[in-house]
Structure 1
Amino acid sequence: MVARHATAPALMIAAPASGSGKTTVTAALAWLHRRAGRRVKVFKCGPDFLDPLLLARASGSPVDNLDLWLVGEAQCRTMLCEAAATHDLVLIEAVMGLFDGEPSAAVLAQRLGIPVLAVIDASAMAQTFGALAHGLAHYRAGLPFHGVLANKVAGTGHAQMLQESVPPADWQGWLAAGDAWPERHLGLSLPHELPGLEQRLDELADALEGQPAAALPSPVAFAADAPPAMPRRLAGRRIAVARDAAFCFIYPANLACLTALGAELAFFSPLAHEPLPEADAVWLPGGYPELHGARLAAHPTLAAGLRAHHAAGRPIVAECGGMLALAERLIVDGETLPLWGLLPGTATLHSRLTALGLQQLDLGEGVLRGHTFHYSTLTTPLPALAHATPCRLGSAGEPVYRLGSLTASYLHLWFMSHPAAAATLFGAR
C-alpha cells in the first residue's frame, strides 16, 4: 500500500556517453537555482562517489545515489519522495550513456516518470546533432523527454546550426566550450582541489540563465510505500569512521543506515593525525590513501590504536582504500611506502583499471550489494574467506579477507541492501 506522496519539479540530466558534460550541466543548474533561493536536491545514478562530492558543493546538500539494482526501486522511490517533500527542485545526474547498463538510467527515468534533459557534446558536429537528439528521444518508446542541451559549442553561429537541427520545443540551450573539471585515476578531482570552483559555477549558471534549460521543469508526482522498520541492532554501539580526503568514498545513505540501526558515529581524520576515537567498531572507507601514503604512515598513534582495537576483538571494516591503508606497504610509481601493517601483504597502484563492476556478497547473514572500482592490487598470504558474485559473466568476484575481527575487501557495500547483514559486520549480536 502506497503511504506517502510528494510532488516537485524534477529533471534527469543524461547524455549519449560519459564525458559529454552531465556533471557540468547538473552542477550549473543546481547552482543557478540555489542562488535564486530554491532548495535543490541532487541525486547521482550509479555507484559513484566523486561526482556527488562536486554536486553537493553546487547544491548545498549531500547527494544520494539512485540505482535500480544497487539501491533497489523501493528505496529509490522513498528517497525521491522524501526529496520532493522537502525541496523545490530535484535534479538527477544519469550515469554513462542514457541507455547504457542493465538497468539503465533511461529505465529509471521511465519507471519513475522523470523527464530527461540530454546533454550532447557538439564540439565536432553540426546538423548531425539533430539526428542524435532524435535518437535519444525516440530510441525507447515512452521515455519522458524534456529536450536537448548542446555542450562545448564553438560560438553563437555554431549554436544556431545546432538549434535549427532539432524541433523548437526540444531546444534547451547551449554552453560554450571551456575547460573541463580536472580528473585523476578514479575520476574527478575532489572539490577542495578545484581552484575558483564557485566562480566557475557562477560563470556556468550565468551562461544558462535566460535559456530554456534555466526554467523550472514540470512537477513530478512521487509515491513510496512506507519503509519497513529498521532493526536497532547497533543500538548503544559507537562506530569510529575515518573521513577526510584520503577516506572520502562514503555513501550518505550508508551513514543514515548505520544511524537508523542505532549506532553513534564518531568521525576522525587520519590525515589530520587525529587519534582513533574510543569505539566499539571502526570503519575505514575507500578513498585516496595512495595520494597521502607518507602522511598516513607518519600518524603517531593510529597504527597502534588500530592494533589495540583489533587485539580487543572489536570489529574493523575496511573497504578498498581503507584496506590498502591497513596493508604492510603500498607501492606507488615504484616507491614503497610503509603503512599501518595490520593486514599482511603489499598493495600496488597500477596505471590501468584492474576491476570494475557491480557485485554482491553473502557472508551468511544475507546478501549485501555493492560495487568494485580500483586501479590497485593486493598481494596477501591470507586466504579469502569468501568471494563476491559479479553481476556480469567474465568478471572476477572480489575476495573478502577475515583476520580476527577485521573484515577487508575491495567492495564498496550498500548497507541499505541488507541492513541486518551490515549491522553484523560492525559487531551486532
Structure 2
Amino acid sequence: MRLSSPRLVVAGLAGDSGKTLLTLGLARSLRERGLAVRTAKKGPDYIDAAWLAAASGSACVNLDTFMMPREGIGSGASSLAGADVVLVEGNRGLYDGVDAEGSHSTAELAKLLGSPVLLVVDVTKASRTVAAQVLGCQLLDPALRLAGVVLNRVGTARQQALVRSAVEEVTGLPVVGALPRLSGDDPLPGRHLGLVTVAEHPDGEGAIARAAEAVARYCDIDCVLDLARSAVDVELPLLRVEAEPRSCRVGYLADPAFSFYYPENLESLRRRGAELVAVAPEESAALPRLDALYIGGGFPEVHAGRLAGGGALFGALRDHAAAGLPIYAECGGLMLLARELVIDGSSHPMAGVLDLVVEQTPRPQGHGYEVARVDRRNPFFEAGTSLAGHEFHYSRVVAGADAASTVLAVERGCGIGAGRDGIVKGTVWASYLHLHALGTPGWADGFLGMAARCAAERAGTAVAGV
C-alpha cells in the first residue's frame, strides 16, 4: 500500500503538552476549509481517538508499533489514503517508548509513516531553554524529520517573541503557532482514564469549536499545510486475512458506560460477514436475537448507580450465558459481568454472570501494554497463542470463585493479578486485556467461528431471543 496523502505527526515533549488540543483544532480548522481530513492516534487510546473523529468528521484509526506488526500499521494507514491531509496525534513525549532506546515511540511511528513532525512545546515560565529542548529533539535522531514548532501556554507577547526568536535561531525550524494560556474552564476536562469522552462532555461540539477558533487565530494554518505536504511517499505492507465468511448477528453494548470499541474491531467483524447490532442497556429488558455479544470497556464505575438498576438485562445476560451465547468482555465489560462492584465501600449489584467481586480503587491497578500467552484450552484462542494489547484500570478483582478460571499467563502487565488474566467460564470471556484487531487478526476469526458453532449447537433451545 502506497501512502501518499499529505500528513503530519503532532508530538510533544511529554504528556499534557497540548497535543490533543492542537490536533483537534487543526482537524476542525482544516475541515472548515473544505478539506477531507483524516486522523490517527498513536498508541492504544479510545478517548482521544473519539474526539479526533468528531473534529474531523471521519473515523480515527489507532496505529501502534507495539501492538501491531508492520502489516497492521499498513492496513490501518490504508484508511487514510485519499485524504487531503492526515493528522496523527502522538503519545507521551516524542521519543518515549517502552525502553531507554525509545522503542515503539511516536518518533518511530513518524519515520515508518514517512511523516514530518510538528512539535508542540509547553513554554510555561521559560524562554531560551525551549530552544535547547527543541534542538535536543532535532539532534537525537537525524533520521526523524522535525519540521516545525508550536508554542503552547504562552504567557505574554514578550515571552512569545523571545522564545520564537531563540527557537528559530538555534534550530532553524519555523515556529508556526503560539497558543496562549487558556482562560476560564479547560475545554477538555479530564477524568481518571484521561479526557472526558466526547459523548459525555456537556458541550463536546462547543469544545472542539473553541479549540479550532484558538488554533485558527494563533497558528499559521497555511504553513502547517505546507509542512504536511512535505511528507514523503512510503510503501507499507498489508495484512492478508483469509477468513471463512460467517453469517451471524453480533451485538455490542452501546452506552456511555461501555464506549471503548476500536472501530477497526467492529469493522473486522463486519468484513467477515457479521451483522452488528447495537444494544442499549437501558432499553434492553431482554437481548435481541444474537449469536454473540461483545462488551467493551468504559466507565461502569461512573454509571454504577444507573447500571445497578438493570435487573431485567442482568437476568437476560445470565440466561443467555447459561444457554451458551458467546460473550466477549474487556475491562469494563468484566466489571459488568461480575456479581458485585464495590466503590468507596458501597456495593452495587452487577449482572452476576461471573462469580466475581470487583473493587474500584483510587490508584491505577494496571496501566500500559499487556502481553499474555494462552496456556490453557478455551473456546476463544488456541493454546500457545501470544496476545499483545493494553490495559488501563483502577479496579481489581478481590473475591469470587471464577477468579481462578483463567487461561492467560501475563508476561507483561498486571491483568487480574498474580500473573493471570482472561477468565473463561463456558462461552464467556472476561479480561482486563484490550485487543486490537490489526494486532490480533485471529481475534475476530475465533470469536465469529465460536459464534457460528454455538449458534448451531443452541438451535432449538428455549431461551427467548436465542
User: In the alignment, what sits opposite 1:138?
Assistant: 139
SS at match of 1:96: strand
Counterparts of 1:121 and 1:130, CA distance in 2:
12
Question: What amino acid is the match of 2:334?
Answer: M
| Contact 2:406–2:420 (8 Å) recurs in 1 | no
Identity %: 34
Corresponding residue SS for 1:289: coil
> Is it true that 1:410 corresponds to 2:406 in the alignment?
no
In the alignment, which residue of structure 1 is the partner of 2:392?
A: 373
Alpha-carbon contact 2:370-2:414 (below 8 Å) kept: no
Compared CA separation, residues 209 and 42, structure 1 to 2 (3 A): same
Q: CA deviation at 1:303?
A: 1.2
Question: 1:351 — aligned with what?
Answer: 362
The CA deviation at 1:207 is 3.0
Aligned equivalents of 1:392, 1:230: Cα separation in 2: 31
Instruction: Tell me the distance in 1 between the aligned counterparts of 2:130 and 2:424.
Output: 53
Q: Residue 199 of structure 1: CA displacement? A: 3.5
Give the secondary structure class of the aligned counterpart of 1:30.
helix
Deviation of 1:6 (Å): 4.0
Alignment partners' CA distance in 1, 2:27 and 2:179: 15
Q: Which residue does the alignment assign to 1:270? A: 281
1:22 is the counterpart of 2:15: no
With 418-427 and 372-381 compared, the bigger mean Cα shift is at 418-427
> Does residue 119 of structure 2 align to residue 96 of structure 1?
no
**2:44 maps to which residue?**
47
For residues 98-127 of structure 1, what are the alpha-carbon distances to aligned partners after superposition, in whole Å with 9 as ceiling and x for unaligned? 111121110111122111111111112111
Q: Give matches, 1:25-424, under 5 Å.
A: 25-85=22-82, 87-101=83-97, 102-167=103-168, 169-178=173-182, 179-180=185-186, 181-209=188-216, 211-214=219-222, 215-216=224-225, 217-220=228-231, 221-232=233-244, 235-273=246-284, 275-361=286-372, 362=374, 363-364=381-382, 366-379=385-398, 380-382=400-402, 383-391=404-412, 397-424=419-446
CA RMSD of aligned residues (A): 2.2
Counterpart amino acid of residue 122 in structure 1: V
| 1:376 partner amino acid | S
So what's the TM-score if we normalise by structure 1? 0.93
C-alpha change, 1:271 and 1:96, in structure 2 (3 Å) is farther
**Is residue 81–residue 222 contact of structure 1 (8 Å, CA) maintained in 2?**
no
Cα displacement (A) at 1:144: 1.1
Q: Which residue identity does 1:193 align to in structure 2?
A: E
* CA distance in structure 2 between the aligned counterparts of 1:51 and 1:396, rounded to whole angstroms: 31
Tell me, yes or no, if the aligned pair for 2:281 and 2:313 is still in contact at 8 Å: yes
Shift of 1:60: 1.0
Distance (whole Å) between structure 2 residues aligned to residue 398 and residue 122 of structure 1: 43
Deviation at 1:226, TM superposition (A): 4.7
3-state secondary structure, aligned to 1:134: helix
Instruction: Provide closer, same or farther for how the CA distance between residues 288 and 89 of structure 1 changes in structure 2, counting only shifts above 3 A.
Output: same
Equivalent pairs, count: 424
Tell me the TM-score normalized by structure 2: 0.86
Which digits, 9 at most, give the CA deviation of each residue in 1:194-233, with x for residues without a partner?
3443334333323333633553122532423354133035
**Deviation, structure 1 residue 18:** 0.4
CA shift in 2, pair 1:98/1:169, >3 Å: closer
Tell me, yes or no, if the aligned pair for 2:260 and 2:298 is still in contact at 8 Å: yes
1:174-201 deviation digits (Å, cap 9, x = unpaired)? 1111143211111100113334433343
> What secondary structure sits across from 1:371 in the alignment?
strand
8 A Cα contact 1:268 1:275, kept in partner: no
Give the Å deviation of 1:420: 3.0
Paired residue type of 2:195: L
Task: Using the TM superposition, name which of 266-275 and 137-146 deviates more.
Answer: 266-275
Shift of 1:402: 1.1
Name the CA distance, whole Å, in 1 between partners of 2:39 and 2:174.
23
CA distance in structure 2 between the aligned counterparts of 1:50 and 1:39, rounded to whole angstroms = 22
Does the aligned pair in 2 maintain the 1:16–1:120 contact within 8 Å? yes
CA distance in 1, matches of 2:420, 2:87: 33
CA distance in 2 between partners of 1:51 and 1:397 (Å): 29
Q: Distance in 2 between matches of 1:50 and 1:393?
A: 22
Decide whether aligned partners of structure 1 residues 198 and 266 sit closer, same or farther in structure 2, where only a CA change above 3 A counts.
closer
